[in-house]
Structure 1
């Protein structure tokens, strides 16, 4: 819908964001809304974000006709002064795209690990239920329809509010009726989901992550922003085996009379599963005595590990709340594939390679401990790096987890951004306490992976962690093309067929 000067004032006032509005003799109708000077069109209402300067608008004054800003800029045009520009962007974006969320059933996942896996599981189940009318906003992909142009790689777990509502509008226009999305702590810290409500919100787990100068100052702040999902969800699901469970459930109880909890059998959850089989290429589990009778039965996942079975149970509960039937659940889980997650490839004479997006202590520990249990007689060889300019706490975490589970580690570049990958690697190494662990440094990621695979023998496992199938590396603000970790492994394996 087109925004007008009157509707802008009313929206900002309604959300208690308006500090002052401009004196306008005649009502203005805006044809466009944006926050990026590179994207403005004719007659744009521009929302100022961050460290913005008036000079950025040079040459755009014919297109930008008014501003929404926290600070009055020295420029002659109508300006709405607001208390929070990020919240204002969200409020104006949902209105500009005509409130697409009102036409969607929305399920959301938060947690330190497992968000993408659980989201893909529900997406697959609901695709069966809705006859391909379910959208997905994940760390890996944003899917707004069934055509090739409706699927794109994600830059952020939860995109900027403008992009979020723009993609929701596209999904609705494409006939989508349901949306499954990941909601990060950053989404609440940066107000990217301000004003958005979900039919169901699921809290998978919590462990320290995203703590650093540009993110959360400490674990308490990280957890507090994760808990905000409950403030904006009609119904809530919580993993009863999660750390901080009592604090999480107490917070959820403030605004919810009923909380749906889940766990392994006899681990405290109302909904439980029993693991039947966990092999390298698949796992099977059983759900019984569920009050959602459509959930009862045996399920197969083409993903290994009881941590994935736990994610699957959360997915089943959310799917049941959305109206899925047992056949949808069985087919959806049996066929689910998560790009870049737990991809394995046996290599003749060089053991088995695993490629996974694992990028924090919890996900790395789950991956390494599972792989070690599957191949107890071989060496565990790990290739890992850490991103630059975010998640600084992960560096210590990676040092700790490889100390616990690895025999050999190759420290390499991940997405170094504006930091030195060598310095990041040495920071990880400073936290390695296992003196028997062999440490190698190679900042060329492809070279590091090839060296690790060459070192492996028949019974060894090589874990390539962090980037999965990402088609780029972020270096100095540029997305440099990259073939992806799994393609590197496949190229190496071709030599031994």
Structure 2
């Protein structure tokens, strides 16, 4: 176990110019960090953070074995009274200090572990799983760590994620576990919020992939405007050795200018021979998309179990990152063919191939347009029924954008609940309803399970595609009552296809089976 001391941590903050004070004459060993009193381990430095932080949290952390604590200078006197005699550091910049001391407390595991960070408005999760599949194909199953929206795997922990990118103490703990477990690499999704609020500050990335940028996450509780969102994303290049940039991204000139901050910058793109990794010969089908991959003087045929040009773009990013990790072409091709992503472009097909259900996490304009246009092209002649809602309390532009795009590529829309938070889901649906073209076929079914059932009812009688959008693998709804359990869209898709197969079996007299 790596250890440091409170004195060493104080020196780190002092060197950064953000140390306010340190308990005089006190020095203790520190072997980790935590900002959650419920997960403190003996020897941890406990971080007192958040507007809702209460002194009793500190008392609980000390009782669990925290050896010292870090706090904002404005609260140092208050917390000293709540925990008399406990060694402490006070800082003028708590978030940055939290990242710096966490890195030190866990022994800078990023120095001994290849790490790839991925950011973008859409595609982070899919690209991360593609890269993970490639690393596992090359180095052995479960050899690649993952920190992202769906799950966290560090060689020790294997659990659902709470945030796309965790707070700094948790992030560094996972990196340390991956190092200690001798994983061959770790891939992490890097959100704009993580970059803006220094959750990833100081993490040395071997590779930073920039996928794309679109209008999203603009609200009082996220980013004030597009500039704040974009600038936050671009911060990833300040902490990487090699930048990997999508030449097909909007605002690519600005992205490339920022990428020049890295030691080197490489590029990828579709139909772009000037890029370091590029694709041509794209061929779409109901099974996915195939293409020819060109990288470092070689070319290979690739088949992806996902639809759309955007999937090819994600695959190029993963392939180039894998190449930078020293992985060869055959393992890259095998990994891409085997990649699967929970709740992302998951296909459920009926026995008679008349019904296809697709579950995807698409929840913003860029993702909606990419996915729905790809489905419309791949499933020519099929009826497309889209089921979706919009979140409450943030990203209000989605209530206009999503119905507008769905109407362009769908035959029928079922509007439903999607994490309404403090708002009435009916109000959100009515707002989306007004964004649909006059007379467009649709209905509002607030209960998400009932909305899915209704979509599958509408699909009967002709070849159809039912799209269940925005919730993916999630098994809860964020409502006024808190996080309320619900069936995942994956489960709803299985039920819909099973019901179709059962009805078909009853008509034809053949046994029913799930797709």
Instruction: Give the TM-score normalised by structure 2.
Output: 0.88
Q: Distance in 1 between the 2:238 and 2:374 partners?
A: 35
**Structure 2 residue 14 is matched with structure 1 residue 13:** yes
Change (3 A) 1:399 1:130: same
Aligned residue for 1:272? Answer: 278
Change (3 A) 1:259 1:350: same
Aligned residue for 2:137? Answer: 128
Q: Distance in 2 between the 1:390 and 1:199 partners?
A: 33
Give 1:96 shift. Answer: 2.0
Give 1:298 shift. Answer: 1.0
Q: Distance in 2 between the 1:418 and 1:297 partners?
A: 50
Change (3 A) 1:212 1:166: same
**Structure 2 residue 326 is matched with structure 1 residue 303:** no
Change (3 A) 1:130 1:349: closer
Give 1:210 shift. Answer: 1.0
Aligned residue for 1:156? Answer: 163
Aligned residue for 1:281? Answer: 287
**Structure 2 residue 113 is matched with structure 1 residue 104:** yes
Contact 2:211 2:314 (C-alpha < 8 Å) held by counterparts: yes
Give 1:420 shift. Answer: 2.6
The equivalent position to 1:229 in structure 2, one of 236, 246, 267, is 236
Change (3 A) 1:65 1:343: closer
**Structure 2 residue 346 is matched with structure 1 residue 336:** no
Change (3 A) 1:462 1:267: farther
Counting only pairs closer than 5 Å after superposition, residues 73-222 of structure 1 correspond to structure 2 as: 73=76, 74-75=78-79, 76=81, 77=84, 78-132=87-141, 133-145=143-155, 150-222=157-229
The equivalent position to 1:459 in structure 2, one of 463, 485, 489, is 463
Give 1:377 shift. Answer: 3.0
Give 1:463 shift. Answer: 1.1
Contact 2:307 2:378 (C-alpha < 8 Å) held by counterparts: no
Change (3 A) 1:29 1:107: closer
Q: Distance in 2 between the 1:240 and 1:276 partners?
A: 17
Q: Distance in 2 between the 1:62 and 1:94 partners?
A: 21
* SS of structure 1 residue aligned to 2:70: strand
Give 1:324 shift. Answer: 0.5
Aligned residue for 1:36? Answer: 36
Q: Distance in 1 between the 2:100 and 2:67 partners?
A: 19
- Structure 2: unaligned runs, 5 residues or longer: 502-515
Q: Distance in 1 between the 2:91 and 2:386 partners?
A: 49
Contact 1:238 1:262 (C-alpha < 8 Å) held by counterparts: yes
- Structure 1: unaligned runs, 5 residues or longer: none
**Structure 2 residue 416 is matched with structure 1 residue 409:** no
Change (3 A) 1:410 1:17: same
Q: Distance in 2 between the 1:480 and 1:178 partners?
A: 35
Contact 1:386 1:414 (C-alpha < 8 Å) held by counterparts: yes
More deviation, 325-334/400-409 = 400-409
Q: Distance in 1 between the 2:305 and 2:361 partners?
A: 17
Change (3 A) 1:402 1:4: same
Aligned residue for 2:247? Answer: 240
* SS of structure 2 residue aligned to 1:371: helix
Q: CA RMSD in A?
A: 2.4
The equivalent position to 1:364 in structure 2, one of 362, 368, 372, is 368
Give 1:336 shift. Answer: 1.0
* SS of structure 1 residue aligned to 2:75: coil
Give 1:125 shift. Answer: 1.0
Aligned residue for 1:51? Answer: 51
* SS of structure 1 residue aligned to 2:22: coil
Q: Distance in 1 between the 2:56 and 2:138 partners?
A: 48
Q: Distance in 1 between the 2:54 and 2:149 partners?
A: 33
Give 1:297 shift. Answer: 1.4
Contact 2:390 2:420 (C-alpha < 8 Å) held by counterparts: yes
Count of aligned residue pairs for this structure pair: 488
Q: Distance in 1 between the 2:410 and 2:125 partners?
A: 25
Q: Distance in 1 between the 2:112 and 2:58 partners?
A: 39
Instruction: Give the TM-score normalised by structure 1.
Output: 0.91
